[in-house]
Amino acid sequence: MTVGILRVGSPALREVAALVANVDDPVVVREAAALGAAIHAFRAEHGFGRAIAAPQIGIAKRMIGLAMPGWPDVIVNPEIVWASNERMTLWDDCMCFPEMLVRVERFASISVRFTDMAGKAHLKEALSRAEAELMQHEIDHLDGKLSFDRAVGENAFVHRRVFETNRSAFAAQVDYFPQS
């Protein structure tokens, strides 16, 4: 296990993560702590990042570390149990390729069932666009998928420097623009 973020091209990013059987397992507890350390280090270096899936740091388990108000620090075995009919396009960024953004299409809202590190089951229903796109992105990581797999439209990839120099033009190309 590493606390560094794996980069695009790493075979481990394409593996489907295993269910977490026991949140009290000392290995799982250490891995949960590693998720928290990784997200905070990444945010300090790059200035963005609300969540990190365990496979992004080489842990092949269904765990997501979060830095979001109203959510546990780590959730395990998340699953989408409802998705809206409405879809949205947005520019997706990822810790595995922080210098790029990818235009993707996602559900505008979802409901997610998960367990926290205390073993308590939760259901978060009809998530906002910001939470819905993030959970879909992180659950994709647990299923071995990257934003590149969901790219839509022409010129769906952009370097962050280009994106930052003309944010309004890129905002006009999508339905939802969380970078504002």
Which one of 125, 131, 138, 164 is the catalytic residue? 138
* Residue 86 falls in the annotated catalytic set: no
pTM of the predicted model as reported, rounded to 2 decimal places: 0.94
Closest CA to 70 of 135, 5, 20, 24: 135
Number of domains, the chain: 1
Binding residues for Fe cation: 94, 137, 141
Distance in angstroms (rounded) separating the CA atoms of residues 77 and 138: 12
Number of H helices, E strands in the chain: 4, 8
129 domain-assigned: yes
180 domain-assigned: no
Q: Which domain holds residue 62?
A: 11-172
58 domain-assigned: yes
178 domain-assigned: no
103 domain-assigned: yes
- Looking at residue 36, which CATH number applies to its domain? 3.90.45.10
5 domain-assigned: no
Residue 100: strand, helix, or coil: strand
Q: Which residues contact 168 (CB under 8 A, 6 or more apart)?
A: none
pLDDT of the chain, 180 residues: tens digit per residue: 446 899 999 999 999 999 999 999 999 999 999 999 999 898 888 888 899 999 999 999 999 999 999 999 999 999 999 999 999 999 999 999 989 999 999 999 999 999 999 999 999 999 999 999 999 999 999 999 999 999 999 999 999 999 999 999 999 999 999 887
1 domain-assigned: no
Distance in angstroms (rounded) separating the CA atoms of residues 53 and 128: 20
- Give the chain's radius of gyration (CA, Å): 16
Question: How long a stretch of residues is the chain?
Answer: 180
